[in-house]
A = this chain, B = another copy of it.
Amino acid sequence: MLEKKQEGKAVSQEIRTDLALEMRERFTDDNVEVKGVILDEEFREDGKIRISTVVIRDKQGAEAMRKPEGTYITVEAAELFAGGETEQRQAGMEIGRQLKRLCGQKKIKKLLVAGLGNREVTPDSLGPLVIDHLLITRHLVREYGEGFLQRQLQKELDAEVEVSAVAPGVMAQTGMEALEILRGIVRETKPDLVLVVDALAARSVERLNRTVQLTDTGICPGAGIGNNRQAINRESLGCTVIALGVPTVVDAVTIVMDSMETFLKTQGYTGREIGIFLSGIETLRSVDTMFVTPKSIDEEIRDMGRTISEAVNYCFFGI
């Protein structure tokens, strides 16, 4: 969820990103070694899809990365997402495969998909949009019994997965934390796995609507842009949680600061000097409630929503 920052807070010079990969790159840029963090990457589809896996193995790594321990898989596929239906389908299948990999050996029989975010705010509407295109099966399996889905889909299935879904809305609309709503539903319906889908903030504009992050650590809604919502994870929900996020905005402050920093480095300034300069920029105050988004965000978010639905359908039903 891309909620507004609380007013009155000072503008931070910290990098704001929800992507573990971008946190990791940050250290690479600075030539710093990060203990407790493993990075691995491979390429698919003639190099058009790049899959990076960041594993944060221990507390030291978690502190350095300012993210919880766990596995973060990033699927980047600029050409595919920008392409036509065939290319998007290819990207969707790869995301589905990575989702399956993250599920591991665990047999999923009951899946709850939670589409976080605000349907009325375009770059924050990804979660609700994904819900709209999912194959929802829980009520069918429960009404028509085992074998119904196999017959309907005319496919051999490993399991007749009961898929349910909810778009809990944002706190300004409901007065409740997304966590509270999900915890209630989980207690009532007892899924094996909760898949939380959300829009994220990134550092790099090139990644917007071109990158998907999958992680088994859950999610802390709004964390990437400075909010502190309660985390949605195994501890808080009491069942396995996988978070799937797509960066749809860059904070306007981040854009300005990255540009400045790049420039100052070319001028030979040291990191410390740069920090002092940046902290004095007045303009940042005014852009602090702004975000940067592609001009074609409305179209891109619809495409991405459908691609992710297809990824989930592919992962659990092979369709």
Residue A295 CB within 8 A of the other chain: yes
Say whether A79 faces chain B, with CB atoms less than 8 Å apart: no
**Of B183, B204, B284, which contacts A259 at CB under 8 A?**
B284
Give the number of copies in the complex. Answer: 4
Contact B175 A137 (CB under 8 A): yes
Which chain B positions have C-beta within 8 A of A258? 283
Shortest C-beta distance, A181 to chain B (Å), equals: 6
Q: Which B residues touch A139, using CB under 8 A?
A: 171-172, 175-177
User: Within residues 159 to 173 of chain A, which ones have a CB less than 8 A from any CB in chain B?
Assistant: 162-169, 171-173
Contact indicator B255/A282 (Cβ below 8 Å) = no
Residues 112-137 of chain A, each 1 if its beta carbon lies under 8 Å from chain B, else 0: 00000000111000000001100011
For residue A102, CB closer than 8 A to chain B, the reply is no
Q: Is the CB of B185 within 8 A of A287?
A: no
Q: Which B residues are CB-close (under 8 A) to A137?
A: 175
A189-206 residues with Cβ-Cβ distance < 8 A to B are 189, 204-206
Chain B positions within 8 Å of A208 at CB level: 290
Q: With the chains together, A143 CA to B294 CA distance in Å?
A: 24
**Shortest Cβ gap from A132 to chain B (Å):** 8
Nearest Cβ on chain B to A234's Cβ, whole angstroms: 18
Docked CA distance A169–B108 (Å):
24
Size of A's binding interface in residues, CB under 8 A = 70
- Complex contact A252–B292 (CB within 8 A): yes
> Would B188 and A184 count as touching, CB distance under 8 A?
yes
Known: A3-B295, A166-B176, A290-B295. 19 other contacts (CB 8 A): A4-B295, A121-B295, A121-B297, A132-B173, A138-B176, A139-B177, A165-B173, A166-B169, A180-B188, A181-B188, A184-B189, A255-B255, A255-B287, A259-B281, A262-B283, A263-B281, A289-B295, A290-B292, A290-B293
Chain B residue with minimal CB distance to A204? B286
Chain B residues, CB < 8 A from A3:
295
A window 239-267: CB within 8 A of B: 250, 252, 255-256, 258-260, 262-263, 266
A186 cross-chain contacts in B, Cβ below 8 A:
184
Residues A273-303 near B (CB distance < 8 A): 277, 280-284, 286-287, 289-299
State in angstroms the CA–CA spacing of A294 and B298 once bound together: 15
Which 10 A-B residue pairings sit nearest by Cβ, starting from the closest? A184-B184, A138-B175, A164-B175, A184-B188, A259-B283, A136-B175, A184-B185, A256-B259, A139-B175, A290-B292
Who on chain B is nearest to A296 by CB? Answer: B4
A174 at the interface (CB under 8 A from B): yes
CB contacts (< 8 Å) of A266 on chain B: these are 280
A25 CB to nearest B CB, Å: 15
